[in-house]
Structure 1
Amino acid sequence: MPLPFQLDHINLWLLEDTDGWTLVDTGLANDATRGIWLKIFADGFRGRPVVRVLVTHFHPDHMGLAGWLTDQWRAPMWATHGEWATARMLSLDQTAALRDAHMAFYRRADFPREILDDLAALGNVYATRANPPPATMHRLREGDRVSIGGREWRVIVGTGHSPEHACLYCEEAGVLISGDQVLPKITPIIGVWPTEPEGDPLRLYLDSLRQFANLPEDVTVLPSHGLPFLGLAARIRDIEHHHHRRLDHALKACAEWVTGWELLNKLFTRSLDLHQKTFALGESLAHVHYLMKDGRIVREMGNDGVFRYRRA
């Protein structure tokens, strides 16, 4: 399914079920994606209904049309509670409190005034890209077994990229639907965000990768971005190495006191648009918070209300 970003697609999965289809993830809430789904409804379902919409996590390219699809087919949504609740909150919250929390987060990072103004003008971006998910859902939990088309899929819940990301593993088929938790060429965004400004998501993410260690080496991985791949264990080692390398870079970038804005510009030297700058800050802080918890970086807030970081 196309995405209007630099990362220009998301893989959505149709699993043939006993009495219809299970959809895994949904795409962004926009007219283009709805139009593609309507064509699939007409041409691709062989006259069989959607019986379940299963969503890996709350990000809008995955959750965006969950509410619309479940309404279209009167089908239940399956997700972990943390992902469903986060999507409900972010898609419905238009309060000043949410806006103020976001702006305070970026002020503490010392974002320039013109960028703060641009962010304030955008408002709740999530709500523009994701419709509210349904008010009810079927909860997925770690270790649950989901029967789809006569095959059993085990739920593996990952953290760090999102609160309770659901992956699906079918031993019989030798297939892992990894969502964004493990991608073949890029690493998923691991960021500190305004809604959890003191989080340590990188530690959660690296810890959660261990859950895949016992899967067979020949498992076929179906990611949300990029092509299906083999070699899960080797890919996980690559991801771990990448983040430990970025931790070293972050530590060196904090040789002297730096703000969040200065740090992201040290770690990301290419040109970034507004959306990418917020992601770059989130990723930079994820590495710094990991190092803070390990006692290798210290943080102070100045009289100007800005956080600064330095190697301990």
Structure 2
Amino acid sequence: MSTSFAAGSAGPAQTGANGLRFPHTTPPEPGTVIPVAPGVLWVRMPLPFALDHINLWVLEDGDGWTLVDTGIATSETQMLWDALLAGALADRPVRRLICTHFHPDHMGLSGWLTDRLDAPLWAPLAEWAFGRQLAAMADGEFAALARRFYERAGCGPEMLARVDQRGNPYRARVVPHPPAVRRIMAGQDIRIGAHDWRVVIGHGHSPEHAGLWCPHLRVLISGDQVLPRISPNVSVWPTEPDEDPLSLFLASLHHWRATVDDDVLVLPSHGLPFRGLHARLGVLLHHHDGRLDETAALCQAQPRSAMDLVPALFRRELDDHQRFFAIGETLAHLHHLERVGRLQRVVGGDGAERFSAV
């Protein structure tokens, strides 16, 4: 690359579990960048959760930049973006912002950045539309929807009180999304600078999650669809209370393995860049097979609600944020087991849904 950056050290390459290889072991400090491939820069922003960071990517785009994802909508993230745009990225204009999906750590500052930079948002239409409608829901409207959902999941008064107190957590973590979007679609090639980046769509973690694969550079921006250390969250949520997102997610893992070459450098949204895509996809598939068997076994003795199962499936201490994710993940496994005929659903007199062996 022709531009120099005060970026910190990439560190020596390491080999991790399941044969994954990590060529960059030291992430960039906030407000700095690290080159990870020709014309590809790594940015990291903080998150106020147990998962305390998100990786963002900056791509050379001719005489400008393309940004990939935004970070969550906090004053700290905005200040870090201001520092980057006045520092390491100051020599070129931003041509566009691409968001992989609607989650607040990925699209939370899309409206602020596109306004600040006078640059368009590119995203899958379902992600932009879902984010827009979710952000528009008032706290009371979302809380009423969520209360019915978590009652069905078997939550008691204490947990339901937390539901009421949370309101609409999505709305609190984003600024208004742009009112217009440039749609990106599966199989589309986006010309960014000297290279084409192919859109690879995944489902289950979000409605229409976009990965970006550059065959020439052998680089895959995987977003949250493939992470090196943890399994991406696949949950049932109040806005789609009867869906089976796990079937969609598992099918996407098979699709990515058949579509994207194994020798790519994977740039995930959380954790470190790694090599060994197909091995990681196999581990994720095996993880869900094991969790499905465990869930089905727990429902053999007696019918169980999602809330009954959470302590058995998630044995560590959970904060509120993690607990809501755990309920959603448990429901995803229950709904999938019902769909494939291993469990059946029964509604009790208390309105809670419990699942038992067929």
TM score, norm. by length of structure 1? 0.98
Q: How does 1:151-300 map to 2 (within 5 A)?
A: 151-214=195-258, 215-255=260-300, 256-300=302-346
**1:4-43 superposed matches below 5 A:** 4-43=48-87
The 2-side partners of 1:233 and 1:295 are apart by 29
Alpha-carbon contact 2:125-2:184 (below 8 Å) kept: yes
SS at match of 1:10: strand
For residues 234 and 250 of structure 1, the distance between their equivalents in structure 2, rounded to whole angstroms, comes to: 25
* 1:305 maps to amino acid: G
> 2: CA distance between counterparts of 1:257 and 1:307?
9
Instruction: Tell whether 2:355 aligns with 1:303.
Output: no
Q: Which runs of 4+ in 1 moved over 6 A?
A: none
Provide the residue aligned with 1:132 in structure 2.
Answer: 176
CA shift, 1:131, in A, is 1.2
Q: 2:191 aligns with which of 144, 147, 150?
A: 147
CA distance in 1, matches of 2:62, 2:323: 45
User: What residue in structure 1 maps to residue 95 of structure 2?
Assistant: 51
Give the aligned length: 312
* Letter in structure 2 aligned against 1:281: I
Q: Which amino acid aligns with 1:285?
A: L
Q: How far apart are the structure 2 equivalents of 1:191 and 1:299?
A: 18
Are residue 112 (structure 1) and residue 153 (structure 2) matched?
A: no
Residue by residue, what CA displacement relative to the aligned partner does 1:62-111 show, whole Å, maximum 9, x if unpaired? 01000100000110000001100111011121164432111100011121
Cα distance change on mapping 1:95 and 1:271 into 2, 3 Å = closer
| 1:19 Cα deviation from its structure 2 partner | 3.1
* In structure 1, C-alpha distance between the alignment counterparts of 2:67 and 2:314, rounded to whole Å: 36
Query: 1:280 corresponds to which letter in structure 2?
Result: A
**What do residues 12-35 of structure 1 show as CA deviations (whole Å, max 9, x unaligned)?**
000011131100000000000000
What SS does the aligned partner of 1:130 have?
coil
- In percent, how many aligned pairs have the same letter? 50
1:109 & 1:212 partners in 2: Cα distance? 32
Q: CA RMSD in A?
A: 1.0
Tell me how far apart the structure 2 counterparts of residues 218 and 274 of structure 1 sit (CA, whole Å). Answer: 39
**Which whole-Å CA distance do the structure 1 matches of 2:226 and 2:129 have between them?**
23
CA distance in 2, matches of 1:183, 1:247: 20
3-state SS of paired residue (1:177): strand
8 A contact 2:114–2:178 mirrored in 1: yes
1:38-117 matched pairs, under 5 angstroms: 38-94=82-138, 96-117=140-161
Q: Deviations over 1:120-151 (max 9, x none)?
A: 01111001111121000000100111000120
> Secondary structure of the equivalent of 1:12?
strand
Q: State whether residues 138 and 168 of structure 2, in contact with CA within 8 Å, keep that contact through their aligned partners in structure 1.
A: yes
Structure 1 residue runs of 5 or longer lacking an equivalent are none
Amino acid paired to 1:205: F
2:141, 2:46 → 1: CA distance? 33
Equivalent position SS for 1:11: strand
Distance 1:275 1:3 in 2: 12
Q: Cα 1:209–1:144, aligned 2, differ >3 Å: closer, same or farther?
A: same
The 3-state SS of whatever aligns with 2:142 is: helix
SS at match of 1:53: strand
Residues 253 and 267, structure 1, Cα contact 8 Å, conserved in 2:
no
Q: Which runs of 5+ in 2 are unaligned?
A: 1-44
What is the alpha-carbon distance in structure 1 between the residues aligned to residue 103 and residue 90 of structure 2? 29
| Cα deviation digits, residues 195-254 of structure 1 (max 9, x gap) | 101111111000011222232221111000111111111100000000000001100111
TM superposition score normalised by structure 2: 0.85
**SS of residue matched to 2:206:** coil
CA–CA distance in structure 2, aligned partners of residues 212 and 107 of structure 1:
36
